[in-house]
Amino acid sequence: MTSLWTQVEPLLAHVTKPARYIGGELGAQQPEHGPGVVSWLLLYPDTYEVGLPNQGLQILYELLNERPDAAAERSYAPWVDMEAAMRSAGVPLFSLEGHRPAAEFDVIAFNLSAELVYTNVLNLIDLAGLPVHAEERTDEDAVVIVGGHCAFNPEPLADFIDCAVLGDGEEVVGELNDVLATFRRPDGGWTDRQALLRALAQVPGVYVPSCYDVSYDETSGRLAAITPRFPETPERVEKRTIADLGAWPYPKQQLVPLIEVVHDRLNVELFRGCTRGCRFCQAGMITRPVRERPAEQVRTMVRSGLDRTGYDEVALTSLSSADYSGIEPTVTSIIDDPSCSGQVSVSLPSLRVDAFTVGTAAQIQRVRRTGLTFAPEGGTWRMRQVINKLIREEDLYAAVDAAFSQGWKRVKLYFLIGLPTETDEDTLGIVRLASRCVEIGRRYHKGVTVTASVGGFVPKVQTPFQWFGQNTIEELTRKVHLLRDAARPVRGLTIRWHDPKASAAEGISSRGDRRIGAVIEHVWRHGGTFQEWSEYFDLALWTAALEAHGMSLEDVAYRHRGEDDVLPWDHLSAGLHRDFLWQDWKDALAEHGLEDCRWTPCYDCGACTGFGVEHVVASAVPPAGGSQGTGQDLSTGGQVPVRFLAAAPSGAAPAAPGGTAVTLAAEGSA
């Protein structure tokens, strides 16, 4: 393979953050390529700083490079200035390890974690020098594979990718390599691309769009069916699930970048999967069941990882880290480890909302205490029952009270707007709730700040909300204005919101069918890359593209789907039975919450039974504190204990008049 370094180097003097393109991280490998070796270019379709920390990509990187018959290198989306420099100098996309041209790799594999990056995917395929349309690729061209959460609805990308891989990648990546090796010619290229794709389609968890026919209803124009074209192709592709996370202690050599990236710290995965059952949360639905890593292995990975990297921060990651059995002793053993000399901080990226969790947080943030973040998601108890985020008012305020009383002065709260059945009372409940948090904080400190960060809800596939028609841009904007106006007089409360236009564009690809491919291509051809970056996002590109192809936001994003609708991802499965999801959707509309199935009887969602796996949880009882519905009296969920009501105890700072006024206004509007 050839190196493009001498052509890349002169470009670097003229671009921002040139170190994005040099490689050389601790943990970077220099794999050997050769006749019997399948070469993979692992791509994250966003900037280096966003993509490098991605743990999924790093795990596959190590697993592939451990094999004698595979070689994996990495690349990320060059920023717009570098892309322009590359295109004008005729330099194609290259890997960071060997600065090898992307087109010399056998496989180009993308990690997809968000829909707005899809135009970057097309751009990178093009920058690699491959035909953007999969059907135009020949035996000489690389195979384009996507994985990650968005792979559960790959239809919008069906025209551009060769296959999508569903679920955990640890096992299937090796099986893919085996099949690819069989079809790889010693001089590179494939013996028979079509036969290769048909063979890949038979690997469990692998979906090859070109092996399926799509038909549309002639009168309605809606999707009618997606059916296999070949007898051996499965009708339904089931996701892959590893049974035991403890068998996969990866990454073993986490990459340490030379420049600062997001999540710039050691990451150790505590467990995979989450059964809290939040109905809006795709990650929780598609990664079931819960599989905990043994505590001893966590400690070993933390210790060896810190020794190897020199990091002074470790994140214990999962979808809800405070739910890990024995989270407390695990955290304590890390911060009390003498080899860390008291300078290592631990972060739990997702806190459960209760006072108990704050106690753990106080313990771990004794080194560098920043802010605390909670995610109630809904502003009223009614709303939280609909979305099944069963945080009682009492637990929420107790958590915030604990945070302020233990020294924190900044609290951040995450909310969603545009949720199913949401009324203005629910929306304004966000301000009421956040104002009460400010009042609680003032009992302890003068200058407390509470930030309510508000995102517009985009329904995701393989969740109970996949049938819900998302709020229009106008409706989300109206709700944002409601919140902004109500919060304005409240000293100490800041509202931040996500651009409703971006939520709409995200909704196009989130639940779109194969015809959305033309829209994505249109946006890309009109210069729409880096759409998840606000400085480059342009809704007009998306609406123009929809119009050009006879589609509309009304139909693609805002329309409610019915039980009988054929959904573009019905032939793909995250293990969840369709009737479970439909029942959960009905339960949502009935404001009925479900407890976590880790410690209560099974609801038969299908994730365990379908794959012959089960929860791997060390503790048979819910965590101490037992919040979020488990073992709690949900009939009192909406009640606010007297101690958290506005009347401040004597000796504390009085609540701001503005705060009181808003509380009244919010209640008055209900």
Binding interface with another protein (CB under 8 A): 12-13, 18-19, 21-24, 26, 256, 258-260, 306-312, 339, 341, 343, 367-369
Q: How far is the CB of 5 from another protein (least distance, A)?
A: 8
Q: How far is the CB of 4 from another protein (least distance, A)?
A: 13
Pick between residue 186 and residue 310 the one whose CB is nearest to another protein. 310
- Stated as kind and residue range, the H or E segment containing 383 is helix 381-386
Pick between residue 26 and residue 224 the one whose CB is nearest to another protein. 26
Q: How far is the CB of 411 from another protein (least distance, A)?
A: 17
Pick between residue 181 and residue 367 the one whose CB is nearest to another protein. 367
Burial of 568 (0-12, 13-18, 19+ CB in 10 A): buried
Alpha-carbon gap, residue 430 to 495, rounded angstroms: 10
Pick between residue 23 and residue 167 the one whose CB is nearest to another protein. 23
Q: How far is the CB of 364 from another protein (least distance, A)?
A: 15
Q: How far is the CB of 20 from another protein (least distance, A)?
A: 9
Reading phi first (left if > 0) and then psi (alpha if -120 to 50, else beta), residue 591 is in left
CB pairs under 8 A, 24+ apart, for 272-276?
272/168, 272/242, 272/245, 272/318, 273/319, 273/615, 274/318, 274/319, 274/320, 274/323, 275/596, 275/597, 275/598, 275/615, 276/319, 276/320, 276/323, 276/388, 276/389, 276/596, 276/628
Enter the DSSP assignment of 555.
I
Q: What angle do CA 567, 570, 571 make, to 5 degrees?
A: 140
Q: How far is the CB of 412 from another protein (least distance, A)?
A: 18
Give Dmax (Cα) for the chain.
82
User: Whose CA is closest to 104, among 191, 176, 188, 161?
Assistant: 188
Are residues 318 and 347 in contact, defined by beta-carbon separation less than 8 angstroms?
no
Enter the DSSP assignment of 359.
H
DSSP-derived pairing of the beta strands 206-207 and 163-165: antiparallel
Strands (DSSP E) contained in 229-369 are: 237-238, 266-269, 271-272, 291-292, 313-317, 345-347
Pick between residue 82 and residue 461 the one whose CB is nearest to another protein. 82
Alpha-carbon gap, residue 11 to 15, rounded angstroms: 7
Pick between residue 2 and residue 343 the one whose CB is nearest to another protein. 343
- Stated as kind and residue range, the H or E segment containing 40 is strand 38-44
DSSP-derived pairing of the beta strands 271-272 and 291-292: antiparallel
Pick between residue 307 and residue 336 the one whose CB is nearest to another protein. 307
Pick between residue 191 and residue 370 the one whose CB is nearest to another protein. 370
Pick between residue 118 and residue 408 the one whose CB is nearest to another protein. 408
Pick between residue 83 and residue 141 the one whose CB is nearest to another protein. 83
Rounding to the nearest 10 degrees, give the CA dihedral for residues 548, 552, 555, 558.
Answer: 150
Q: How far is the CB of 310 from another protein (least distance, A)?
A: 3
Q: How far is the CB of 256 from another protein (least distance, A)?
A: 7
Q: How far is the CB of 9 from another protein (least distance, A)?
A: 8
Q: How far is the CB of 314 from another protein (least distance, A)?
A: 12
Q: Which ranges constitute the DSSP H helices of 526-646?
A: 539-548, 553, 578-589
- For residue 334, which amino acid is it? I
Distances (CA, A) of 307 to 269, 298, 314, 315, 335: 17, 14, 12, 15, 14
Pick between residue 105 and residue 311 the one whose CB is nearest to another protein. 311
Q: How far is the CB of 79 from another protein (least distance, A)?
A: 14
- For residue 560, which amino acid is it? H
